Amino acid sequence: MEYKVLQEDQLAETGWQRFSNKRLVLSQRAVPALTPLQYRDLAGWSCGPDAVTRTVSLVTGRRLFTSNIEYTRFALGVPKGLGIYHDHQYDDAMSYNTYGFKEAYYLLWMLNIPKAFQTFLSGRNLKAGAPPQWLAQYMNAYAEADRSTHELEFVYYGTNNFNDMWLQITRHLDKGDGVIPLVASGALQWHYLNIAGYNPETEQVLVLNFDWLLKWSIHRLQGLMYMGFNSQFYQVGEYAAFAASTLVNWFSTVNDYNVIFVRQKDSVGSRR
């Protein structure tokens, strides 16, 4: 089951452990509307920054960015697994341009790839967001330097057992923590979104995918979160996805099931 949830009465069923309607609406609106130029710069890889921004609203009850330039600067500063990013450590030394920072090149999968080759790949729009461990590490560094997120910590958790993963997800949701799972929307199409609640009675989860609020079965979530090799298909894309996940695992932790938990450092487990 999957459908867009917009009205409060669609969330009126009993048994849900979830964020309030106010925070759900706030999170849906947390990412400012982008211009065509900004959308072009972020298209195809920026689900990680998007999910992080919405999670901060779910956990804290406030918006992280008030303008599309602020958000775009943040998103472009998140390192990629492949493609160019923008290094914020040079912001103060730069003259102001569209976003106000320096363009830099990230080393492909942590290897010493020549800059010319990286430029070649980026020119063909071969872009990939950061693996979950890298994204969590970057956001912890960002939080240390940014007053608006200073009270938050980003914790990567990976396992090869979905039952263990589901137990951790429900425990964090019960505390009011943010949950950012990594899912596979297709061969070589990895994607970050948010889990905003769960219902043990109906065995459903409430998912925020960009600004769409959806209901999924727990079984559907398990299937999409699985990053291993599904041998029943034997398709080229399946082999390619498995090879890519193996490559990523050489340089960063990627298990069968992966998630980033976002919580307040002084969290005592109460619902917010």
- Position 264: which residue type? Q
Q: What is the pTM of this model?
A: 0.80
DSSP letter at 83 equals S
For residue 148, the model assigns a pLDDT of 80
For residue 236, the model assigns a pLDDT of 55
Q: Is 137 left (phi over 0), alpha (psi -120 to 50) or beta?
A: alpha
Mean pLDDT throughout 205-232?
85
112-131 pLDDT per residue, tens: 444 454 444 444 445 677 88
Mean pLDDT throughout 129-152?
86
9-57 pLDDT per residue, tens: 566 677 899 999 999 999 999 999 999 888 888 887 899 999 999 999 9
51-74 pLDDT per residue, tens: 999 999 999 999 999 999 889 988
| pLDDT more than 90, % of the chain | 44
Judged against a pLDDT cut of 90, whether residue 5 lies above it is answered with no
For residue 145, the model assigns a pLDDT of 80
For residue 11, the model assigns a pLDDT of 67
For residue 86, the model assigns a pLDDT of 62
Q: How far, in Å, CA of 7 to CA of 219, rounded?
A: 25
Distances (CA, A) of 37 to 49, 52, 66, 103, 129: 17, 22, 18, 16, 19
Q: How far, in Å, CA of 261 to CA of 59, rounded?
A: 11
Burial letters for 144-177: b for 16+ Cβ neighbours within 10 Å, e otherwise?
eeeeebeebbbebbbbeebeebbebbbebbebbb
With bands split at pLDDT 50, 70 and 90, how would you rate the model's confidence at 251?
low
88-99 pLDDT per residue, tens: 554 444 333 445
Pick from 197, 193, 173: nearest CA to 183:
193
